[in-house]
Amino acid sequence: MAPVTRLLLWANVVFFLLQTYDETLFVTYLALWPLTSAESVHPGAVGFMPWQIVTYSFLHGNVAHLLFNMLALYMFGSDIERVVGSRRFTAYYFICVVSAAALQLLVSSAGNLPPYPTVGASGGVFGLLLAFGLYFPKRMVMLLFPPIPMPAWLFVTLYGALELFLGVTGTQQGVAHFAHLGGMLGGYLTIRSWRGRSRFF
């Protein structure tokens, strides 16, 4: 694995292990809480704090959630890091994490989502998925369910459309579909800036 990809993977695992010792403390202070009051759904919650737009990405709801995100990070992270370099990769990943948090907060503030905390590296992972589709559009990706191979560009397009549908219709309650879309949007805008004349990183 590329160095930053490996570091992110281990950081997520370590945070999850620490989280299992004191779930309430980690969720109260480090999960991404909506801008509205959180006390009604999580007694003692401090509500939204600025650092949560990053720290939420190192927490996970359960082992399956962690394994799914870390598998995706392992599968797509190293290839992207080798293409753009470790410094840009780090910036890209956390831009996706923050943009995912921003869209999640925006939608929850609009009243379209219940006031629950958001956790997980999915925002960053979906940004990596978008980057993989852009940099390796013809690379074949195998779906897990069902096991159907397809080019990366099609996989990313279908996955993005599915997330939009699920988010708008409110399907799969408890899954932060708009955070996933926010990660992809932040990734797309970042890569577009890299390919244009404006260079920010």
**CATH number, domain at 163?**
1.20.1540.10
Query: Could you tell me if 132 and 139 are in contact, meaning their C-beta atoms sit under 8 angstroms apart?
Result: yes
Query: Could you tell me if 96 and 69 are in contact, meaning their C-beta atoms sit under 8 angstroms apart?
Result: no
The parent domain of residue 47 ranges over: 3-195
Mean pLDDT, rounded, of the chain? 83
For the cut 60, the answer to whether the pLDDT of residue 200 exceeds it is no
Query: Could you tell me if 31 and 57 are in contact, meaning their C-beta atoms sit under 8 angstroms apart?
Result: no
pLDDT value of position 114: 62
- Could you tell me if residue 143 is inside a domain? yes
Number of domains the chain contains: 1
pLDDT value of position 201: 43
- Could you tell me if residue 200 is inside a domain? no
Query: Could you tell me if 15 and 58 are in contact, meaning their C-beta atoms sit under 8 angstroms apart?
Result: yes
Closest CA to 101 of 88, 117, 114: 117
Please state, as a whole number, how many other Cβ atoms lie within 10 Å of the Cβ of residue 16.
21
Angstrom CA distances, 84 to 4, 6, 19, 135, stand at: 12, 16, 32, 10
Written as one string, the DSSP assignment of 109-123 is HTTSS-S--B-SSHH
- pLDDT average, residue stretch 170-196: 80
> In the numeric block, which tokens belong to residue 1?
């694995």
> In the numeric block, which tokens belong to residue 125?
């992972």
126 versus 41: which is more confidently predicted? 126
- Could you tell me if residue 87 is inside a domain? yes
- Could you tell me if residue 201 is inside a domain? no
Tell me the pLDDT tens digit for each residue of 47-91.
Answer: 788 999 999 999 998 898 899 889 889 988 999 999 999 999 999
- Could you tell me if residue 55 is inside a domain? yes
- Could you tell me if residue 137 is inside a domain? yes
- Could you tell me if residue 113 is inside a domain? yes
Query: Could you tell me if 120 and 60 are in contact, meaning their C-beta atoms sit under 8 angstroms apart?
Result: yes
Query: Could you tell me if 33 and 116 are in contact, meaning their C-beta atoms sit under 8 angstroms apart?
Result: no
- Could you tell me if residue 9 is inside a domain? yes
30 versus 165: which is more confidently predicted? 30
